[in-house]
Amino acid sequence: MNLYDLVIFDLDGTILDTSEGIVSALKHTIAEFGFSIPPSEVLNTFIGPPVQDSLANYFKLDSIEAAEMAKLFRDRYKDNDLLLATPYEGIFQIMQTLLDHGMQLAIATYKREDYAIRLLHHFSFDSYTAIMHGSDFDGVMKKQDIIRLCITEAGVADYRRIVMVGDTYHDADGADTLGVDFIGVTYGFGYTSIQDIKCSRMVGCADIPNDILKFVL
């Protein structure tokens, strides 16, 4: 018997390496606003969490300034850089294996939903799941809200039979809040080791994508 009925994946840093497109749009946006471009290790921390929050925190912006900067970023990203991404090695085979074992799959991302769906369709992730939810246009939703939408659509009532897979605190916090298990990945943009993962529901740490299977089969 499978451990889980539903496996929910984060997008950025979990199934897709979106760093090229996001960093390109960030550099353009930061330069347009007259700021010095931070080093790569700082820019990489902007990938995954809500970009408006990351910009506000790093550049000490008020809410209006952060919203303006985030809008420019989103316009640049949508029109020029969205599809500059690469699926992580083996991720499609992993998804197919989970489907072959009778599990449902879903994708829950902080990326704005219309951007996320366009990106996921482009790379054919819709061949593995139709359950894809992202952030609202105003960035009000929390990660647990997005995860909950996936659970509702999948129709899984027993939260003990659900696991979230992601690379950041936001993914872990969403899992903790809802009471679903969590697998942290260290090959993405957030966590770099198992010591970084603070989650009472953690059941495993994947240093490479194939490690995910060890904790769900």
Residue 138 has pLDDT above 80, yes or no: no
Residues 45-101 pLDDT 10s: 898 788 899 999 999 999 999 999 999 999 999 999 999 999 999 999 999 999 999
**pLDDT reported for residue 139:** 73
What are the sequence ranges of the domains in the chain? 6-17+86-215, 19-81
Structure-block tokens of residue 41: 């290790």
Model confidence, pTM = 0.91
Residues 1-51 pLDDT 10s: 789 999 999 999 999 999 999 999 999 999 999 999 999 989 988 987 888
**pLDDT reported for residue 192:** 92
- The mean pLDDT value of the chain amounts to 95
**CATH class for the domain made up of 6-17+86-215:** alpha beta
Contact present, 204 and 183 (Cβ < 8 Å): yes
Contact present, 214 and 185 (Cβ < 8 Å): no
Please determine, looking at this structure, whether the domain spanning 19-81 carries the CATH number 3.30.70.2740. Answer: no
Nearest to 91 by CA among 217, 213, 216: 213
Residue 109 has pLDDT above 80, yes or no: yes
